[in-house]
């Protein structure tokens, strides 16, 4: 049984596949950039995300779309902290902060945020590991080849699964050596982060291979470019491609799916879980 303690919340990851709803407070994210840049829009969206069936809300102030340039720390703080202050008492599910900066994470944790989602897997800020260990919170370690500004220029792997596995082993060892508890570590293979179409498809197809780490697997497939390449469709028309990818990911062992379309993917997850008998009443727990 995998229980993920997130502040006052306790997520039972074996009872069902969990849904992480994306709330981007950015002007330049690939799908919803600029949609929730005002405080009232962000607040309304956060409430909607919970109502639509999300188990976690993931708030980010830095776009990581290919080619993007990160804002400075002050700008990132200005984007996310007022939103967290506004919604923390209104939301009854854990809030995750999507950041690689220790100071932004610390401010968010002080307000009651209970998960850190670090796309650099603690490589981006030397102080982040200390913050995670001190606050005793779950950390999502994501694999990314290169930086967002250049990661899609010439990504190449001899064996993508092997390379990501080696990366996870190194980052898990690094985390534990710095006082982060094993039960607080989650892994994310980083779909679209320095990956070719073939790599993204291989990651989903071979996802079960990452279960050797005995860590919850987080996956973000929502409306990503690999879906666009297969279907030849823009982001706004990738809902069904996302649904198919989410289904495949669950069948291959994903524990948490990070998505934009909460209501729709909540239905997809419930049906897939029911077919796989991944439910409380079926497991006896």
Q: Which of 79, 106, 224, 278 is catalytic?
A: 224
CB 56 within 8 A of CB 19: yes
Q: Which of 45, 145, 258, 278 is catalytic?
A: 258
pLDDT for the residue 58: 96
pLDDT for the residue 285: 32
Query: Could you read off the pLDDT tens digit of each residue along the chain, which spans 285 residues?
Result: 478 999 999 999 999 999 999 998 877 544 444 565 678 888 999 999 999 999 999 999 887 766 657 788 998 999 999 999 999 999 999 999 999 999 999 999 999 999 999 999 999 999 999 999 999 999 999 999 877 767 677 788 999 999 999 999 999 999 999 999 999 999 999 999 999 999 999 999 999 999 999 999 999 999 999 999 999 999 999 999 999 999 999 999 999 999 999 999 999 999 999 999 865 444 333
- CATH code (residue 66): 3.20.20.20
The C-alpha atoms of residue 31 and residue 241 are separated, in whole angstroms, by 14
Secondary structure of residue 118 in the 3-state scheme: strand
pLDDT for the residue 65: 67
Structural domains in the chain (count)? 1
Q: Is 224 part of the annotated catalytic residue set?
A: yes
Q: Is 258 part of the annotated catalytic residue set?
A: yes
Instruction: Tell me the residue range of the domain where 37 lies.
Output: 3-283
CB 25 within 8 A of CB 59: yes
pLDDT for the residue 17: 97
pLDDT for the residue 107: 98
pTM for the whole structure: 0.92
The DSSP symbol for 58 reads E
pLDDT for the residue 149: 64
pLDDT for the residue 249: 98
The C-alpha atoms of residue 52 and residue 59 are separated, in whole angstroms, by 16
The C-alpha atoms of residue 169 and residue 216 are separated, in whole angstroms, by 14
């Amino acid at each position: 049984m995998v229980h993920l303690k997130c502040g006052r919340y306790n997520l039972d990851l074996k009872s069902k596949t969990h849904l992480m709803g994306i709330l981007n407070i950015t002007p330049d994210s690939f799908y919803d950039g600029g949609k929730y840049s005002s405080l009232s829009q962000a607040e309304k969206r956060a409430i909607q995300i919970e109502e639509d069936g999300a188990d976690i809300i993931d708030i980010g102030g830095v776009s990581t779309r290919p080619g993007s340039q990160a804002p400075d720390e002050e700008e990132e703080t200005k984007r996310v902290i007022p939103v967290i202050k506004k919604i923390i008492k209104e939301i009854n599910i854990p809030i995750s902060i999507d950041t690689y900066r220790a100071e932004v994470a610390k401010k968010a944790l002080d307000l009651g945020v209970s998960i850190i989602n670090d796309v650099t897997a603690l490589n981006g800020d030397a102080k982040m590991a200390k913050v995670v260990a001190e606050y005793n919170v779950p950390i999502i370690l994501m694999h990314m080849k290169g930086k967002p500004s250049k990661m899609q220029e010439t990504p190449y792997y001899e064996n993508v699964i092997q390379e990501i596995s080696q990366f996870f082993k190194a980052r898990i060892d690094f985390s534990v050596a710095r006082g982060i508890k094993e039960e607080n570590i989650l892994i994310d293979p980083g779909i679209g982060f320095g990956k070719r179409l073939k790599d993204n498809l291989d990651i989903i197809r071979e996802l079960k291979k990452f279960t050797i780490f005995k860590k919850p697997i987080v996956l973000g497939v929502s409306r990503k470019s690999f879906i666009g390449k297969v279907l030849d469709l823009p982001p706004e028309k990738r809902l069904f491609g996302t649904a198919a990818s989410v289904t495949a990911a669950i069948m291959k062992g994903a524990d948490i799916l990070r998505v934009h379309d909460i209501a729709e993917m909540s239905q997809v997850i419930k049906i897939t879980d029911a077919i796989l008998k991944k439910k409380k009443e079926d497991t006896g727990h």
